[in-house]
């Protein structure tokens, strides 16, 4: 007999914020760059995506997810790949520093 303690918990609530995203129904190509896109074209596309994020009611949840999952591509929560990578790197360094101070 299976016990409830061993069953995974429902996760739908963890993702419900996505249903309220300002990006819903928007062409996803705005949020993810095509291969080899560089310079002004990429900046323009990122700016368009970030403008959508700026008016999003779940920007905080989206950003939190992207940082926790270390999303490698696209604009999430108003941050592009480079911005997220910078924050993730800082967070990792801070954790290493905390561990080394604890001994």
Binding residues for [4Fe-4S] cluster: 23, 53, 56, 62
Distance CA 81, CA 84 (A): 5
Alpha-carbon distance of 81 to 33, in angstroms, equals 10
Could you identify the residue written with the tokens 């739908």?
12
Tokens of 31: 């949020």
Residue ranges at the known binding site: 23, 53, 56, 62
Number of C-beta neighbours around residue 75 at 10 A: 26
């Amino acid at each position: 007999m299976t016990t409830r303690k061993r069953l995974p918990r429902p996760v739908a609530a963890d993702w419900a914020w996505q249903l309220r995203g300002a990006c819903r129904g928007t062409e996803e190509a705005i949020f993810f760059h095509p291969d080899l896109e560089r310079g002004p074209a990429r900046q323009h596309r990122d700016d368009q995506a970030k403008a959508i994020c700026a008016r999003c009611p779940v920007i905080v949840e989206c950003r939190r997810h992207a940082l926790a999952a270390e999303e490698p591509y696209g604009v999430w929560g108003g941050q592009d790949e480079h911005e997220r990578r910078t924050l993730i790197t800082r967070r990792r360094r801070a954790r290493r520093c905390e561990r080394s101070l604890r001994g």
